[in-house]
Amino acid sequence: MLAAMSSRIEVLYRVQSDAKSIAARAKAIAVEQSVEMPVEPIDDPYVLSEIVGRVDDIKDIGGGLFDVRIALASITTGFEAGQLLNMLIGNTSMQEDVALVDAQFPEEFADGFGGPRHGLAGLRARVKAKGALTCSALKPQGSTVAALAALAGRIAAGGIDYLKDDHGIADQSYSPFAERVPAIAEAVTRARGSVPTRYLPSLNGNLDDLRKQVALCRSCGLDTVLIAPMIAGLAQFHTLVKENPDIAFATHPTMAGAARIAPSFLLGKLFRLLGADATIFPNYGGRFGYTPDECKRIATFALEDWLDLKPSVPVPAGGMTLERIPEMLDFFGTDVMLLIGGSLLSTRERITEETARYVEAARAYQAA
């Protein structure tokens, strides 16, 4: 794809500074995220006009914070996922006074990256659901393949929509991917009733491993998988999305941090741009510290009309409980996938019944 020469990404950074330093600081960020050298010795007029980052706006938002808008040349990303991240925040991630809050991408990024191939409608269609979707997780790692398969069967029997590997379950000797995935896939298929429960194996390793794993998933009749883009590398994630248009990808936020990149941008917008059909994030009030506002913003970014991309399904998670279902659906609406793992597993021998209760609570929900 060809970028218009002047095409720019409008990036919003939040910068801690005092008023008299902010203009210079903003310019330094624009330079760091583009030519990364003093501008004075640059002679090339093309570099000066088309490549050097441009400070478009500085707004004092109070409390020693400034919203700085910087226009970065699209062409510097090479329209490649890893380099895109590198240009947005790479070196600046090492500076403690700056966070990447948001970015507006020109339309060619939608063409180049493509966004979710299935999205909300696709994930609903897979399990014949209309409202909020349900998901749970297979844990703990260290369990045998037989134990995980048995557990998966018992949860699938309760009618769950989606059932994912814990993100810590990779390719360890106690449950190798190549043994685990066929066994769990079979257990889920055997146990499920009217809901065509989907099992999402957690992909891991290098691109060779990831490709082999996707192929194995497909050979087991699976069409939905879990990947952690910040561990795999964005380029690997995006490569798999492009190569497997029939597979839906849910993303896990591990290693996403939050100190230098707003979770709403990374998990809601960037992962969506690269093809996340569903994006898991740590909900407020659980084990993680994201605020309700930031969580709402993740969901908004995942779902809103944007560049003609399909919506990603927001998946609030991280210590959620059955009791919170009405509150979560009030907060997020029903364009959502609930993810309740550990607390469901804590119901032990009642897990099939509790899963059914979970699914029923989600299905029966009526907005207040």
Residue 126 or 324: the one with the smaller Cβ distance to a second copy is: 324
CB of 120 to a second copy, least distance (A): 24
Q: Which residues of 168-205 are buried (b: 16+ CB within 10 A; e: fewer)?
A: ebbbeeebebeebbbbbbbbbbebbeebebbbbbbbbb
CA 133 to chain centre: 17
- DSSP state, residue 202: B
Q: How many CB atoms lie within 10 A of CB 348?
A: 9
Residue 6 or 346: the one with the smaller Cβ distance to a second copy is: 346
Would you count residue 343 as binding a second copy (CB under 8 A)?
yes
Would you count residue 114 as binding a second copy (CB under 8 A)?
no
- The one among 234, 262, 299, 320 contacting a second copy by CB under 8 A: 234
Please choose, out of 37-45, 56-64, 216-224, 298-306, the segment that lies near a second copy by the rule CB under 8 A. Answer: 37-45
Asked if the bond preceding 292 is cis, omega within 30° of 0, the reply is no
Of residues 43-82, those binding a second copy (CB under 8 A): 44, 46-47, 50-52, 73, 75-78, 80, 82
Would you count residue 18 as binding a second copy (CB under 8 A)?
no
Helix/strand number for the chain, H first, E second:
16, 12
Of residues 146-175, those binding a second copy (CB under 8 A): 147, 166-168, 170-174
Residue tagged 């030519």 (tokens): 35
- The one among 4, 19, 61, 94 contacting a second copy by CB under 8 A: 94
Of residues 278-317, those binding a second copy (CB under 8 A): 282, 287-290
Collapse the DSSP code of 45 into the 3-class scheme (helix H, G, I; strand E, B; otherwise coil) and give the result.
helix
Would you count residue 231 as binding a second copy (CB under 8 A)?
yes
Whether residue 5 contacts residue 21, with contact meaning beta carbons closer than 8 Å, is answered with no
Q: What's the rounded Cα separation, in Å, for the pair 339 and 226?
A: 13
CB of 268 to a second copy, least distance (A): 14
Residue 119 or 341: the one with the smaller Cβ distance to a second copy is: 341
Would you count residue 145 as binding a second copy (CB under 8 A)?
no
Would you count residue 95 as binding a second copy (CB under 8 A)?
yes
